[in-house]
Amino acid sequence: MTKKQKIDKIKKSFLQHYQDAKTELKYRNIYELLIAVMLSAQCTDKRVNIVTPALFAKYPSVDILAKADIDEVKELIKSVSFFNNKAQNLIKMANQVMNNFAGNIPTTQEELKTLSGVGQKTANVVLIEYFEANYMAVDTHVFRTSHRLGLSDAKTAIRTEEELTKLFKTDLSTLHQAFVLFGRYICKALKPDCNICFVKDFCISKNNFKPV
């Protein structure tokens, strides 16, 4: 089997198994989605979904969040990892949106990346989920599973993103969500469920790969 044939088979399998893949984060608009994605860094979606209802109720819009008291935001998200830094970034982000984007959440990768607490992965996830943009975002699940399948041997998430984008080219938004769900529920870091894996024939290692 050629490398192209392998890529095509893996891509087809993921698109068949996860044709309607979406984030498990709960949100109602792009403002809430951005906040949820920012909070989800190094934290589970389940935990984020527990804290965001109260956060969104108290700060339902970016202009209100921009005026928030830092200690009150910290209290609402204290069960989320790195809540001190995330609280600061949320308020800074809101002020930047108000001052630089007339109160509208930006909708391009480069503009999103100018916001505090928003790197390329966060920007891509927002664009993938909200607009189904043709981007790949690499979190721990995507990194681990793509390395186990021999799709990448890159040491960093950004480089892995570049390699996967070059390999797959299209349907990247669905593939990103598919790899996340696959890594979360099947190709788990510890004790992967290989018996139900639909791409086990392509697996080259069960090591728990992590970006440097």
Q: CA-CA distance, 138 to 146, in Å (whole number)?
A: 9
Q: Is 121 a catalytic residue?
A: yes
Residues 212 and 155 sit within 8 Å (Cβ to Cβ): yes
Torsion, Cα of 13, 14, 18, 23 (10° steps): 180
Residues near 34 by Cβ (< 8 Å), separated by ≥ 6? 93, 105, 112, 118, 122, 126
Of 31, 80, 38, give the one whose Cα is nearest residue 56: 31
Catalytic residue among 139, 166, 191, 193: 139
Catalytic residue among 9, 22, 121, 171: 121
Q: Is 139 a catalytic residue?
A: yes
Of 88, 23, 90, give the one whose Cα is nearest residue 56: 90
Catalytic residue list? 121, 139
